[in-house]
Structures are given as structure tokens and as C-alpha cells.
Structure 1
Amino acid sequence: MAKKSLWEKIKGLFSNHSATAASQVKDGILYAPQADGTYLLSIDKSVFEQLGQITFADFPTDQSNIDVDDDILDIEGDKSVETLKSPIAGKVLKRNFEIGQDIDQLNQADPQKNWIMTIQPAN
């Protein structure tokens, strides 16, 4: 799971819901807990604001286990090129290879369409 700052931990104590029960965003990656304990990683709307429309995407590695801040997706947009990094550590269960062939899918703000991968978090 992503490392949390002291401030994030304090905010979590005073919020009405558990920090692990809600979607979170780190460096343009939305990571949402699923009912089965896995996490769905997708592109947050902040990426579109920074890059514009995405024109290219590729997985830089085929690692089956990733750590926090490992490269998970290279993307190119109208405004710049970025490498998105993992907000959590764990085992990669599934990659969305369709986003490389159908880039329009990646440009949709719906996490169920622009998802990158599912991860079983490390214990």
C-alpha cells in the first residue's frame, strides 16, 4: 500500500470513512479498492489537464510484482510525455492491453474504461 504522510494519517482519523475504503489519487493514478481486496489503477482527470488528449500509451515493463513508484505506464499527450508510477506495491493480476490499441478508451474519464491494471496489494 502507498506510504502515507503523517498529515494524511491524521486526516484519516477525522474523516467519516476509512482511508482504505475510498479511492485515492497519487501522481495522476486513481487507485480504488475493490470488493475482492484488489486495487484497480486508472488515470485520474488531472493527467488529462496536464497532458491534454493522450495519443500514445505503452507498458514499460512486464513485471509481475511492482513496488511503490515503479513505472507502470508511459503516455504521450498533446502537451508532454510522462511515465506514470505505481502508488502501491503488490502483484499485478491483470493489465489492460486494450488501451494501447484503442487510445480513445484511455482518454475517457471513466475509471472502468481507462483502467491500467489490477493489483493484489502486498501484505
Structure 2
Amino acid sequence: MAKISIWQRIINFFTGKKQPAHEPAQVKDGIWYAKQADGSYLLGIDKSVYDLMGKITFADFPNQLDTIQVDDDLLDIEGDKSVETLKSPIAGKIIERNKDIGKDIDELNKPDPEVNWIMKVQPTD
């Protein structure tokens, strides 16, 4: 995790800014992944997918595996412009899936990490 200077911590304290709960997200093949404070990774749909596919019309998990490997299928999505299967950028044990991801398509089409996260994964060593 990136170190924050004592000076920046003081500024954040007086301005009310909170320290991030995770490191900045990295992106691979349309999936953003961000390391959380507990060492797990949160994975989600990157903005580039919205640019490529247009409006998303359908999303579903292609499997119900408990563990994933790099390049395993994460999410099947259909859009105005194409159909894609998003792949995992990391390997690990699936801790949690976003069970609401395909239920409200209008919400899914907002590139918001609070809505468009796919799953939480504990990486393998």
C-alpha cells in the first residue's frame, strides 16, 4: 500500500478526508481490481468495457466456482455493440459475488464501483 506522509495525514484529518480502504485499482482486459485493507481484491467492470460495448443489456456469472485462476471466466455480458465474457486478472478463492449485478441493468450501466463490482477474491500465494 502506498505510504502517506505525516503531513498529508494531518491535512486529511483537518479537511475530513478519509484514508482509502484500498490501493488504487489496476486494470486488465476490462476488469479493474483493487487490493483491500484485508489483503483481498475487489474486482469490477472497467469504464473501457462501457466504451466498447455501449449500454449493457444483460450480465450473469458463467459458473459458480469457489476458486478462480487467471483468465477464468468471471462474467458474461451483452451490450448494444457486442457480447463478451470478462476474464479474471488474478487467481484466488472467491469470498463474495455481487448477486445484484444483473438484476438492475440501469444501475449496472453507471460506471460506479459501488454498483459494478463483480466479486471479492482472496489471492492464492
TM-score norm. by structure 2 comes to 0.80
How many corresponding residue pairs? 106
Corresponding position of 1:37: 39
Kindly indicate whether the alpha-carbon contact (under 8 Å) linking 1:106 and 1:115 is maintained by their aligned counterparts in 2. no
Corresponding position of 1:100: 102
Instruction: Write the deviation string for residues 53-109 of structure 1: whole angstroms up to 9, x where unpaired.
Output: 100001000000000000010000000000000000000011111011111222111
- Structure of larger gyration radius: 2
Q: Distance in 2 between matches of 1:50 and 1:72?
A: 18
Over the aligned positions, Cα root-mean-square deviation in angstroms equals 1.5
Q: Which amino acid aligns with 1:70?
A: D
Q: Which of residues 54, 57, 60 is equivalent to 1:58?
A: 60
Instruction: Write the deviation string for residues 13-58 of structure 1: whole angstroms up to 9, x where unpaired.
Output: xxxx59x943100000000111111111010000000000100001
Q: Distance in 1 between matches of 2:77 and 2:37?
A: 29
Q: Distance in 1 between matches of 2:95 and 2:58?
A: 23
The 5-angstrom pairing of residues 1-123 of structure 1 reads: 17=2, 21-123=23-125
TM-score norm. by structure 1 comes to 0.82
Runs of 4+ in 1 over 3 A off after TM superposition: none
Structure 2, unmatched stretches of 5+, are 4-21
Secondary structure of 2:115's match? coil
Q: Which amino acid aligns with 1:75?
A: I
Q: With a CA cutoff of 8 Å and minimum separation of 6, indicate the structure with the bigger relative contact order.
A: 1
Q: Distance in 2 between matches of 1:67 and 1:89?
A: 4
Structure 1, unmatched stretches of 5+, are 1-16
